[in-house]
Amino acid sequence: MVHILSQQNSIFNQFIAEIRDVNVQGDSMRFRRNMERMGEIMAYEISKKMEYELVQTTTPLGVADTYRITSEPVIATILRAGLPLHLGVLNYFDKAGNCFISAYRRHHKDNTFDIHIEYISSPDLNDKTLILCDPMLATGSSMVLAYKALLSRGTPKHTHIVTAIASRQGIDHVRTQMPSQNYTLWCGAVDEELTSQAYIVPGLGDAGDLAFGEKI
């Protein structure tokens, strides 16, 4: 299942427009906050798919029947670009477990690259709802590799993949290469073009640099 939030007009599209806009991107705090707000909206949409239980809540005047999530999710992020998106999701699932993945591209002279996982910090994922965040789904290779690496920490009950901008190629790669079909993909917007250096066009540029400054 693939959900593309920009296909229906809402304030979400304003945030998409601003993170893409070169005239706005110079304000890194605004970029981070927009990415965070997009994570919040996606978390709200994901919450509709989760399991709830009926509980009784004591108020100053009596007892009310209310519903609460039966099990908090685990939110996972590929560092460093995914941190603002991760924070937005965490703002809504404030008791969630947190997982951080360190990965990088090693480029070669022929414009190809390999993706390497360096480190994972994660709670037990067995039978948990996993929300895996990365702002850009370009080739899809990083997302699939990260998911496979996370299986060493347990097998999730269901995985929600959250991304701000995806390429059509990236979506197709996830569909064909994910070792489990028990996932839902949430995209802010989908672009058709991918360069030979695996940058999404029109995309938005380098999300990590825009959020936290250029790296050496």
pLDDT tens digits in sequence order for the chain, 216 residues long: 899 999 999 999 999 999 999 999 999 999 999 999 999 999 999 999 999 999 999 999 999 999 999 999 999 998 889 999 999 999 999 999 999 998 766 655 665 556 678 889 999 999 999 999 999 999 998 899 999 999 999 999 999 999 999 999 999 999 999 998 899 999 999 999 998 888 899 999 999 999 999 887
Tell me the residue type at 52: Y
Predicted local distance difference test score (pLDDT) of residue 115:
66
According to DSSP H, which parts of 127-167 are helical?
141-150
Q: Which pLDDT does position 66 carry in this prediction? A: 97
- Could you tell me which residues are beta bridge partners of residue 66? 55
C-alpha closest to that of 164 among 182, 191, 193: 191
Q: What is the pLDDT of residue 118?
A: 81
Contacts of 8 (CB under 8 A, 6+ apart): none
Burial of 6 (0-12, 13-18, 19+ CB in 10 A): middle
Cα separation, 45 vs 100, in Å, equals 22
What does the alpha-carbon distance between residue 175 and residue 197 come to, in Å, rounded to a whole number? 22
Domains and CATH numbers, the chain: 2-212 (3.40.50.2020)
DSSP letter assigned to residue 152: G
